[in-house]
Every structure is written in structure tokens, then in C-alpha cells.
Homo-oligomer: A and B are copies of this chain.
Amino acid sequence: MADKKLVEEITSRDENFTQWYTDVVRKAELMEYSSIKGFMIYKPNGYAIWENIQKKLDGMFKETGVENVYLPVLIPESLLEKEKDHVKGFAPEVAWVTQGGGNQLTERLCVRPTSETLFCELFRNNCHTYRDLPMVYNQWCSVVRWEKTTRPFLRSSEFLWQEGHTIHATAEEAKERTLQMLNIYADFCEKELAIPVIKGQKTDKEKFAGAEATYTIETMMHDGKSLQSGTSHNFGDGFAKAYGVQYTGADNKLHSVYQTSWGVSTRLIGALIMVHGDDSGLVLPPHIAPVQVMIIPILQKKPEVMEACMKVKEALRAAGISVKVDDSDKRPGFKYAEEEMRGIPLRIEIGPKDIEKGQCVLVRRDNREKSFAALDEVAVKAAEVLEQEQQDMFERAKAFRDSHIYDAHDYDEFKDIINNKPGMVRAMWCGDQACEERIKEDTTATSRCMPFEQENISDRCVCCGKPAKKLVIWGKAY
């Protein structure tokens, strides 16, 4: 009964999604708040997910020629101020260092909210001729943006991310790189995180401060809300001109470079929780789970049980599966509840009766499906089950999302859907920012993106009725 109770400490997902989210974060021991308001501590279970995200994404980046660098945590105020839209976007939310080494500083330094300005300086100092191009850099770091209201992984005053920054000789090459990285994010989300994405372009209202175009991958959480899960920005030559990044071309003339930046953050952990989690806690896709298999001995005091568990563990490890044995002195039922809360994709139970039959029990986390495997074939079987679970989780998330996207043809329909049905709305837009603002005011929904897959579902703007220019995905967002 203690097992049951343990699980019951998580609020039901459909009853109160916000409380459910907080409960899962806490019970799975992913993070906790520090004594500074809005600053998170990533505990081992949470940070291990980020490490796996880093490892996989970093490999994908490097395959395309990305090189990692590290730039200072502090940025002088004067450097931040050089690009006007940019400083306007970030200045209100930065933290300022005003004292250092016992002295008042002559210039304020901000703790980096993003590093565009530092990269511009680096590029200016190192880019001389066309032979130096492209420069394709990335940085894994933390950034600080003072937030008034915070939520674990989704919005906090410090968060972890990667920020890629590149410069190119031509506008075309910059645009290509912007889209290439967006596609990497999309592939990563779908194949590793099992989260389906919509790729599209942000409207001018929603794009990054100082960018010419911002591309995004938008995902749908289980409560129907949208989460912007990764963005890729094409800066054109705006930053380059503001910071004087130029090169001598093959034509012996000076040219501005074309610049991009792109990033994903620990928000992705929030997405993992809210797309896949259930009333028993976290559910992690096998490809990203730090521990893929938990072996739980039944009657572990019997030596043959622990022996069989260790043998299975070694077989799985040899097959490249990340595996642990829970040999603590808790009861098996308690252990089940615990590894379910933590979202471990596969549980293997081994008891004396199983050993007699030369088998063990496999239980999937996502759907509790039970299967059996011969002890000497368990590694192959476990790999198959994990791969199936990964695919099923993606298909399930995609089916859920697709069944929660609605078309709206006029404003009444739009408002009805957005107010009564959790999910996203597809509707046509005239291109006027006033309509975006009105929709936001009336419904709190925002334009998530102009999806790459355009379709004409009406000739009229859903808001003002004027001729429509673009299909837009609308939604309430985190």
C-alpha cells in the first residue's frame, strides 16, 4: 500500500496540469530552487538528461563543421549597446556587476543574457579575408535573464543552453546555415526526444531582437499549450554592420559578413516532461534516458537472484544499454513506483521463479506492457523493446498533437476554439501586426509560426477579414 501512496503524491495530470508538472519535477528529483529567487539547482537526475541532450546535439553539430568556443560570462555595457534593437530587447532583464576585486568598476558589466555582441567582437578581430570564412562556432553555457515569474526548466533567471553563432560570405549561405540548424533541432526533437515539431518562421512581432528572420520549432504539450523549443536566426548583415565585421573578398574589396545564431535550452527538459509524462511521473524516451533499464531483484537475499541480476546487467551494458540494478533494501513495489516516477523506460524483474524458468520479466514504462525474455537473450530483447517504445512514444505524441490542431475560418470560430479546446489553431492572416495584437488581447493566444508547409484554408484574414497572406499556427504558449 505504501507503493500506491507514493504514486499518489503526484497530482493527476488532467485535474491540475500545473501542479502535476511541479510534482513530477520534485518527485523525479530533477531540480530545486536555490536561495536566490528564480535560480535553479539542476540535481543529478535532471542534469543527466541535459548531459545526454548536449552529447547528442553536440555530435550532430560537429558533423556539420561546428567548432565549440567559450566566451566570457561578463559583457561590458558599451559593447551591448552597439546594436540598438538588441540592447532594447535585453537591457531590462540583465544582472549588472558593478564591483570587482574590492573596487567600484568604471563601467557596468552584465552577466551574459546571450553572447551575440561578444561573438561580433570575436569575429571582427579574427575575420580578415574570404579565406577566414565561414566561421561556425557554438558555445554551451548558462545565461542570466532576470525573470519576475519562474517555472522549473521553462522560465528561470538562469538557464543552460547552447548558442551557435556563424558568419558567412553570402546572404544565401547564411540562410542555408540557419535552416540547416533548424532541421537539426527538428530531427533531434523527433528522433531522440520523440517530440513531433512544426517548423516555421516567426512573424516580425515574435522574431528575435535584431534578427532579419527567426525560424522556430513549435511543439505541443499535453495540456494543449505550445512551447517554442528551438530557434534559429538569420541576422543578415545588420549586426555585422553595427559591429564592423568585414572581410576582403576575392575581388579585393571590403564586404560585410552575414550572420546567424541558433539555440536550444533546458526548456527541452520541460518539453520532455509535459509531452510524455503521466500520472505516475516522468516518462523518458529511451534514446535520451540517462538510465534506460532498471533491474529489480525479487527476493534479493537469495544469492542466485542477485547473481542473475548482475549477469543481466553486464549483458545489457555490453550491448550499449545504460542499466542499473536497484539493490537497496526497499521493497520491490516501492522500487517500481520510484523508477516509474523517474521515468526509466524499461524495468526488468528477476525473481527465483523466473530464474527457474530461465527468463525474466520486462515492463515498459510508457504503456506498462509486460513481456518475457530468456535470460540468455535479454540484451537483444531489451534493445528491441526500447526501440519499439521510442517509436510508440513519438507516434503517440504525434497522434495527440494532430488531434489537437484545429482550423478556424472566421474570428468567432477562432475564439470558440481557442477558448474551449486545448491545442493549436490554424488560421489565415493578413500580415498586419495589429491583427496579431488584437488576437493576443482578445484570447491570450499568439502567433506561434508561419509553418513551412503552407496551405490556403481561406482567402481572408481570420481577424480583420482583409485578404490573407499567410497560414499561421496560433496557440497559447509557455
Contacts and interface: CB of A to CB of B under 8 A. Distances in A.
Interface string A128-162: 00000000010001101011100000000110100
Contact of A111 (B48, B108, B111): B111
A100 B113 CA distance: 12
Nearest to A144: B73
Given A48-B67, A93-B101, A97-B111, A121 B35 contact: yes
A10 interface: no
A158 B76 contact: no
Interface in A164-197: none
Nearest to A98: B98
A69 B51 contact: no
A149 B69 CA distance: 23
A41 interface: yes
A443 interface: no
A196 to B, nearest CB: 28
17 contacts: A32-B122, A32-B125, A34-B118, A36-B76, A41-B72, A41-B118, A41-B122, A42-B70, A43-B69, A44-B68, A47-B68, A47-B69, A48-B68, A50-B70, A74-B95, A97-B97, A111-B111
A109 interface: yes
A144 B99 CA distance: 12
Contacts of A242: none
A399 interface: no
Interface of A: 32, 34-36, 39-44, 47-48, 50-51, 67-76, 79, 92-102, 108-109, 111, 118, 121-122, 125-126, 137, 141-142, 144, 146-148, 157-158, 160
Given A43-B126, A48-B67, A92-B102, 11 more contacts: A34-B118, A35-B76, A42-B70, A43-B69, A47-B68, A47-B69, A73-B158, A74-B158, A93-B102, A96-B100, A98-B99
Contacts of A126: 32, 43
Contacts of A102: 92-93, 146
A147 B93 CA distance: 28
A137 B45 CA distance: 12
B96 A99 contact: yes
Given A67-B44, A95-B99, A97-B111, A158 B72 contact: yes
How many copies of the chain does the oligomer comprise? 2
Contacts of A42: 69-71
Given A67-B48, A96-B97, A148-B101, A73 B41 contact: no
Contact of A36 (B67, B92, B93, B109): B109
A72 B36 contact: yes
A142 to B, nearest CB: 6
Nearest to A121: B35
A96 B101 CA distance: 9
B95 A100 contact: yes
B111 A142 contact: no
Contacts of A160: 70
A72 B47 CA distance: 13
Nearest to A32: B125
Contacts of A111: 73-74, 97, 111
A79 B347 CA distance: 42
Contacts of A141: 142
A69 B48 CA distance: 8
Nearest to A330: B131
Contacts of A92: 101-102
A125 B70 CA distance: 32
Contacts of A97: 95-98, 111
Contacts of A95: 74, 97, 99-101, 109
Contact of A70 (B47, B99, B101): B47
Given A96-B100, A100-B96, A142 B73 contact: yes
A152 to B, nearest CB: 13
Contact of A142 (B51, B70, B121, B122): B70
